[in-house]
Chains A and B, each alone.
Chain A
Amino acid sequence: MEGKQTHLAWIKDHSANLAAYGGVVFCVVFFTILTPMFGESIWSARKLETLMSNVIVTALMSVGAVFVYSLGNMDISIGRQVGLYATIMVVLGNSTGSLVVPILVCLLLSVVFAVINGATGEVLHIHPIIPSLVVMFVLTGVNSMLFVNMNTRNISLTSMGHEIFKSPILMLVVLVAEVLIVSYLFNFTKYGKYAKAIGANQVSAQQSGVNLIKYKVIAYIVMGVCVVVASVFQMGYTGAAADATGTGFEMNVMVALILGGMPLSGGMRSKVSCAVVGAFTFALLDVGLPMIGIAARNTYIIKAVIFLIVVLITCRKKDGVLPR
């Protein structure tokens, strides 16, 4: 009897993880069995490439966003940041013949945005989402002005080839490397531990001597660097940038993290794996559902229902407090 109760308690405690990991495992098994019956396996080389291209940008951004979400914050300017970085990479790439300078410029900008988004909320005592909202509006305007001045809606990288960024192997290698680095920073350094501590209880963290502004800005910098890496693949995949590039990406990141079981309120239960699991679950649904005869436009409904189920399991308040 006691053993049964222990098992139930364990399941209850780990319901978020079970839902998230169970979801991706279910998708893998489900599509592995069903897709060959419809003519092509989801593990065919072509579909694996599609899967990787679907997942890479969201996964790279989400992995970095774990730092910010673990604070209990979110940054809704990252989509527009991707748009700006992609534009800069194409424009400067074409003029310099290399991506080194544009990537450095983007990294510099990402630090600037990280300082604005990470510190402003704390300094001005406003909700941290507000600075990112302001940055989003500013970047939307900047990007729009750039394309108005260039008198076109999309631009191409013409000075060099970009096929390398279409390689699923490179995508996988970069993703694994980023996951390892961010996991190390998140789990084994004070930057990650303090970020989780701030998310769990900001007052306690501050009274324990944690410099809130410093560690919040560092969390945003980690995410900013990951957004730049994601932008390289976003731009590199088609060798192009458009005025709308990056639109809505912040929502993709949020959906991926929630699907992966990330507590929106941040805290000690935040994990880097949430980002990867969520991003792959979403991509598996995007690629797999049309393969089993479900029209692409109807996949939204299935994704919405799955999202709803996961949210109900992982994000509901317990004892009046959001999971953290």
Chain B
Amino acid sequence: MKKTLALILALAMALSCLAACGNPGSAGSEAPAPGTSEAGQNNPSGEDNGKILFMANLNAGPQYDAYLAYLDMVCGNLGYTYEVILGDESNDPAGNLTAVQNAMTNDVVGLIACQDGGLSEILAEYPDLYVAGFASDMASVYDEGGTNASVKDNDHFLGTVADQYVNGADVGQMYFDLVVEKGYKKVATICFPPFAYPQLAVADEVFRTLVEEYNQTADEPIEVVGEAEVLMFEPLSDAYFMEAERQDLDCIVAPLAGCTFVYPALKSAIASGTISADTKLLTSGFENDEDLLADFGDDGVITAICIMTPESILVPMVMLDNAIQGKPFADYTASEAVDSALYIIDSREDMDRVLSSSLLGTGDAANTAASWDAIQDLFTRNNESATYQGLKDFLYSDALTVDGLA
């Protein structure tokens, strides 16, 4: 009896391992969300041009599903396979290098890196590998004296697309505009630590400067309560709301993954009556949790979400393919960090449109505004007169904004 019980428990543990490693899929999505694509699978081109490694900084969620769905579509049409590898969760250089080393096989031709730790070592170890950044401003590459500054001029490094804006000043401006538009008068700000996200500190500073300027002429000034709360990569503590001055806020400005890091504590504080039920959240990040989505809009807790349009991953794919095919853009002269396409979702209507009609909301590449037909001429292999500027123009076109959704 005991042995049978032990066997059952062992099997249950083994099955739980399998379940834990399975793919959770995405709500509202019928599209598969694989971590790899096999040659010949979803490969209309019939070509075999090698494998792209995608060193992601996420491993689940609607953004992640959207990236993979789009990679499936683009890689399939270009004749690449791709494989997701998980970089070091804290962006440790050795951890990222090890992740690349372990996944490196003879057919790997490119790397899309969402983390910059260890980039110079990766390029030194694999000098033939083309690398493009994504969802990261690659501060260690582009900041003066950064630990990966040598990568900037490496001709195998093809630039990066930041998660939203490269410059924190633009982030500060965006959230200031939202605060003014929504009419909030008492706000607090939350950031990640400046040593890890220096541009968030810039955003906070610019936001406060803009508020000061606004207050000089405004009938009703905006009050920014206290210094920015710095989250050390952990969710906001319930204790944050115990301070009296934070109990009647109009809104919290959190230009980070606030749906995960701020919303739970905020919602809990509202539910317990600790703070005003009218406290709102302006933030980034996107979750497809039904309760959270139901709490979005002017009647809910989250009134605006600013998030990178997932189709922005098109940029590293174009850059990699051009380089691998030996056909770089004629007007591409040096690597750079560029802003991503951006969804500013600030109304219930916007959210409904995103959920029903976008790649981000559905996880289905059939719903992308940047379909293969729309993008194929951005690649120099298909269009010899394609330009880098043309790629950026497409990235910042209305097609990749909320307004561009059907």
Is B325 an interface position by the 8 A CB rule? no
The reply on B204 being an interface residue by CB < 8 A is: no
Tell me, rounded to whole Å, the shortest Cβ–Cβ distance linking A217 to chain B: 30
Docked-complex contact A40 and B147, CB < 8 angstroms: no
B374 at the interface (CB under 8 A from A): no
With contacts A39-B106, A50-B101, A290-B103 taken as known, whether A155 is within 8 angstroms of B147 at the C-beta atoms is: yes
From residue B176, how far is it (CB to closest CB) to chain A in Å? 25
Known contacts A39-B107, A290-B103: A297-B85 contact under CB 8 Å:
yes
B residues 330-346 in Cβ contact with A at 8 Å: none
Cβ < 8 Å to B, chain A residues 210-254: 234, 237-240, 242-245, 247
Judging by beta carbons under 8 Å apart, are A308 and B17 in contact?
A: yes
Q: Say yes or no for B10: interface residue by CB 8 A criterion.
A: yes
**Contact A295/B84 with A153-B91, A243-B195 known, Cβ cut-off 8 Å:** yes
Whether B196 and A153, one on each chain, are in contact in the complex, defined by CB atoms closer than 8 angstroms, is yes
Is A296 interfacial (CB 8 A cutoff)? yes
B183: Cβ under 8 A from any A Cβ: no
- Answer whether residue B215 sits at the interface, using C-beta atoms and an 8 A cutoff: no
- Asked if A312 and B10 make an inter-chain contact with CB atoms under 8 angstroms apart, the answer reads yes
Of A110-118, A193-201, A298-306, which binds chain B?
A298-306
Contact of B102 among A40, A238, A239, A286 (CB under 8 A): A286
A150 within 8 A of B: yes
- B300 within 8 Å of A (CB atoms): no
Cβ contact within 8 Å between A243 and B14: no
Q: How many A residues touch the partner, as a band?
A: 35 or more
Kindly state the separation between the CA atoms of A297 and B21 in the bound complex, as whole angstroms. 9
The 8 A CB mask of A31-68 against B (1 = contact, 0 = none) is: 00000001110000010001001100000000000000
Nearest CB on A from B292, distance (A):
26
Instruction: List the A side residues contacting B17 at CB < 8 Å.
Output: 301, 304-305, 308
The distance from the CB of B48 to the nearest CB of chain A, in whole angstroms, is 13
Q: Would you call A173 an interface residue if the criterion is a C-beta within 8 Å of the partner chain's C-beta atoms? A: no
| Interface: B232 (CB within 8 A) | yes
Assess the B93–A54 pair: CB atoms within 8 A: no
Q: Is B98 an interface residue (CB 8 A)?
A: yes
The CA-CA distance from A113 to B17 in the complex, in Å, is 36
Q: In the assembly, what is the distance between CA of A46 and CA of B20, in Å?
A: 32
Q: Identify A244's interface contact among B59, B86, B92, B105, CB under 8 A.
A: B92
- Say yes or no: is A144 at the interface (Cβ < 8 Å to chain B): yes
- Which B65-95 residues sit within 8 Å CB-CB of chain A? 83-86, 88-95
Q: Tell yes or no: B316 within 8 A of A by CB.
A: no
In Å, the complex CA distance between A296 and B104 comes to: 10
**B122 → chain A closest CB, angstroms:** 9
Interface residues as binary, A289-322 with B (CB distance below 8 Å gives 1, 0 otherwise): 0110001111011001100100010000000000
Closest to B147 in A: A156
- Indicate whether A151 reaches chain B with its CB closer than 8 angstroms: yes
Contact of A295 among B59, B83, B98, B99 (CB under 8 A): B83
Chain A residues positioned under 8 Å from B105 (CB to CB): 38-40, 290-291
* In the complex, residue of chain A having the shortest beta-carbon distance to the beta carbon of B101: A50
Contact B92 A247 (CB under 8 A): yes
Q: A237-B97, A287-B102 are in contact. Are A242 and B91 (CB under 8 A)?
A: yes
- Interface presence of B121 (CB below 8 A): yes
Bound together, the chains give a CA A265 to CA B168 distance in angstroms of 53
A243 x B104 contact (CB < 8 A): no
Give residues of chain B (7-21) contacting chain A, Cβ–Cβ below 8 Å: 10, 13-14, 17-18, 20-21
C-alpha gap A65/B386 in the complex (Å) = 58
Q: Is the CB of A300 within 8 A of B93?
A: no
Interface residue? B35 (CB, 8 A): yes
**Contact of B361 with A by CB under 8 A:** no
Given contacts A152-B195, A154-B140, A305-B14, contact A296 B232 (CB under 8 A): no
A238, B121: Cβ atoms closer than 8 Å: yes
B159-172 vs A, Cβ < 8 Å mask (1 yes, 0 no)? 00000000000000
1/0 per residue B27-44: CB within 8 Å of A? 000000001100000000
Given contacts A40-B105, A296-B99, is CB(A151)–CB(B86) below 8 Å? no
Q: Say whether A308 contacts B10, CB under 8 Å.
A: yes
In the bound complex, how far is the Cα of B86 from the Cα of A247, in angstroms?
Answer: 15
Chain B residues with Cβ below 8 Å from A301 are 17-18, 20-21
For B97, list chain A residues within 8 Å (CB). Answer: 237-238
State whether the Cβ of B194 lies closer than 8 Å to any Cβ in chain A. yes
Residues of B within 8 A of A170 (CB): none
Within the complex, what minimum Cβ distance (angstroms) separates B51 from chain A? 11
B117, CB-defined interface residue at 8 Å = yes
Complex Cα–Cα for A204 and B106 (A): 58
Choose among B21, B83, B102, B232 the residue that contacts A144 (Cβ–Cβ < 8 A): B232
CA distance A226 to B103 in the complex (A): 29
User: CB of A100 within 8 A of chain B?
Assistant: no
CB distance A242 to B92 under 8 Å?
Answer: yes
**Known pairs A238-B121, A290-B102, A308-B13; A295 contacts B35 (CB<8 A):** yes
Looking at the assembled complex, report how far the CB atom of A160 sits from the nearest CB atom of chain B, in whole angstroms: 15
Write the nearest CB–CB distance from B287 to chain A, whole angstroms: 21
Assembly CA distance A245 to B118 (angstroms): 12
Contacts of B118 in A (CB 8 A): 238, 240
Across the interface, do A245 and B101 meet the contact criterion of CB distance under 8 Å? Answer: no
Q: Are A154 and B193 CB-contacts (below 8 A) given A240-B93, A242-B93, A312-B10? A: no
Interface residue ranges of B118-141 to A (CB < 8 Å): 118, 121, 140
A144 CA / B232 CA spacing, docked (Å): 9
Contacts of A150 in B (CB 8 A): 195
- Determine the residue in chain A with the shortest Cβ distance to B122: A238
The closest CB in chain A to the CB of B126 belongs to A46
Chain B residue at minimum C-beta to C-beta distance from A245: B92
| Interface presence of A148 (CB below 8 A) | yes
Q: A50-B102, A287-B102 are in contact. Are A151 and B195 (CB under 8 A)?
A: yes
The distance from the CB of B116 to the nearest CB of chain A, in whole angstroms, is 9
Q: List 20 A-B contacts (CB under 8 A).
A: A39-B105, A54-B102, A144-B232, A152-B147, A153-B196, A154-B92, A154-B117, A154-B140, A234-B94, A238-B121, A242-B91, A243-B195, A244-B90, A244-B92, A295-B36, A296-B84, A296-B102, A301-B17, A304-B20, A308-B10
Interface residues of B (CB under 8 A from A): 10, 13-14, 17-18, 20-21, 35-36, 59, 83-86, 88-95, 97-99, 101-107, 117-118, 121, 140, 147, 193-196, 198, 232
* Given A240-B94, A295-B83, 13 other A-B residues pairs in contact with their CB atoms under 8 A: A38-B105, A147-B195, A148-B193, A153-B91, A238-B93, A238-B97, A240-B118, A240-B121, A290-B105, A297-B59, A297-B84, A304-B20, A304-B21
Sorted from nearest, which 7 A-B pairs have the closest CB atoms?
A244-B90, A301-B21, A304-B17, A238-B93, A296-B103, A156-B147, A240-B93
